């Protein structure tokens, strides 16, 4: 399945290897590289997609976050791009931590700003609790011991998450090599609201939250 990223285009039925939308004629690959294959979130007129990186032989999964500009004024758009560049720099620094999704690209076109981020395989904490039940005291301590150093790293860069909840904590599945080495699953913190100040501007539509899925 292919999703067209153009606003208001509803086409999701282009052939798997198509490069042009059959409905509106837009390019399906973001910057001729990232192909959106499934919408996994929508809020405040921003959208989140599961995507694949067509440039790599294994076509690994990634996440595309799409944000629409309200104003089409050239000055406003330039200002918006500059603001996003500053926020992307923060995300890039945070992504150096193994328990935070890596920022892969910060892109834009005439109508939207895009963030491409690492896909984190696994279930969020809310899903884990639903299937496995309430955590024991040992599991809670394990969770805190895993995440508190991440928060310390974030705060050392003068950044606050602002939206910590079970849905934004993912229990990452270990890779095959890590599993064989006896490494357990790892908790990853996602969806940093580091661009909260942007939502109050006349440039971006409301509900803009950065970081992944």
CATH fold group of domain 122-189: Transferase(Phosphotransferase); domain 1 (1.10.510)
pLDDT band at 204 (very low <50, low <70, confident <90, very high): low
For 45, phi and psi rounded to 5 degrees?
65, 25
Q: How far apart are CA 48 and CA 38, in angstroms?
A: 9
Convert the pLDDT of each residue in 86-107 to its tens digit: 888 988 999 999 999 999 999 9
Per-residue pLDDT, 176: 56
Whether 163 is catalytic: yes
Per-residue pLDDT, 153: 95
The residue among 56 and 185 whose pLDDT is bigger is: 56
- Asked whether the predicted pLDDT for residue 180 surpasses 50, the reply is no
Q: Which of 76, 109, 163, 193 is catalytic?
A: 163
- The answer for 28, left when phi > 0, alpha when psi is -120 to 50, beta otherwise, is alpha
Q: How far apart are CA 103 and CA 117, in angstroms?
A: 5
- Asked whether the predicted pLDDT for residue 47 surpasses 50, the reply is yes
Per-residue pLDDT, 85: 86
- Asked whether the predicted pLDDT for residue 150 surpasses 60, the reply is yes
Least reliable range by pLDDT among 69-83, 117-131, 132-146: 69-83
Q: Please work out, in degrees rounded to the nearest 5, the angle formed at the alpha carbon of residue 103 by the alpha carbons of 97 and 106.
A: 155
Locus of tokens 């109050």? 200
Burial of 37: CB neighbours in 10 Å, binned 0-12, 13-18, 19+? middle
- Asked whether the predicted pLDDT for residue 196 surpasses 90, the reply is no
């Amino acid at each position: 399945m292919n999703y067209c990223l153009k606003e208001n285009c509803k086409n999701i039925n282009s052939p798997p290897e198509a490069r042009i939308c059959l409905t509106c004629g837009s390019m399906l690959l973001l910057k001729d590289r990232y192909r959106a294959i499934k919408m996994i979130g929508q809020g405040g007129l921003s959208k989140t997609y599961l995507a694949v990186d067509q440039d790599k032989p294994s076509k690994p999964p990634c996440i595309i976050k799409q944000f629409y500009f309200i104003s089409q004024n050239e000055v406003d758009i330039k200002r918006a791009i500059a603001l996003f560049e500053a926020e992307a720099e923060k995300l890039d620094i945070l992504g150096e931590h193994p328990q935070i999704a890596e920022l892969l690209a910060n892109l834009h076109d005439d109508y939207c700003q895009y963030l491409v981020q690492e896909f984190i395989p696994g279930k969020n904490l809310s899903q884990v609790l639903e299937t496995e039940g309430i955590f024991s005291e040992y599991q809670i301590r394990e969770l805190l011991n895993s995440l508190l150093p991440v928060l310390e790293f974030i705060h050392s860069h003068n950044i606050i998450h602002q939206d910590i909840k079970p849905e934004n904590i993912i229990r990452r599945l270990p890779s095959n090599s890590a599993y064989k080495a006896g490494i357990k699953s790892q908790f990853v913190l996602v969806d940093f609201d580091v661009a909260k100040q942007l939502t109050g501007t006349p440039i971006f539509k409301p509900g803009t939250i950065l970081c992944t899925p």
